[in-house]
Amino acid sequence: MKFNPVMALPPAIFGGFLIFAFLGLGGEKTFEGRQGVIAPEMFVEPLADLPEIKREDLTTGGVKLVNFWASWCAPCRAEHPNLELLRSEGMAIYGVNYKDDPQNALGFLAELGNPYAAIGADASARTALEWGVAGVPETFILDGEGRIVQRFAGPITQRTLDAIIRPALARAADQN
């Protein structure tokens, strides 16, 4: 049987793709492009009778987190205990419920707890688009004037809480 180099091309391309995916797409993602920018507008609706996010919530006061989440998002469920921990430490967290059924979102919060000071429902994803959200969960840390100090895509795990989130919270507090 004679070697045909054309037949080796598909496995080589596939192998290259796997290497690219492993090295370039995995892991935690932080985005510096939004840092220092005032938080974009919110185009959200109320989620049942829960307190709704208002623009002044984000642009006044101390350091806060804005967390984009959904009940159908498994990584959102995984990060939820760390959001509860931050809330128990006094962190103001604002939730944006992304493209979700309101009843499912309320069920999620009833089951796991509600770490959010206020919530907005982003059924149309307009707010997510304005903020540049790539997917859920995604979290933004804002300073007291509403400037984005850190953008983090992915679930907040214990490791990211210690390595990324807490240092960003300290930077945001220093800017006030």
pTM of the entire structure?
0.81
Q: Which domains does the chain have, with CATH numbers?
A: 29-175 (3.40.30.10)
Considering only CA atoms, which of 63, 64, 37, 87 is closest in space to residue 176?
63
Summarize pLDDT for 48-92 with one digit per residue, the tens. Answer: 999 999 999 999 999 999 999 999 999 999 999 999 999 999 999
Residue that the structure tokens 């496995």 belong to: 11
Summarize pLDDT for 112-129 with one digit per residue, the tens. Answer: 999 999 999 999 999 999
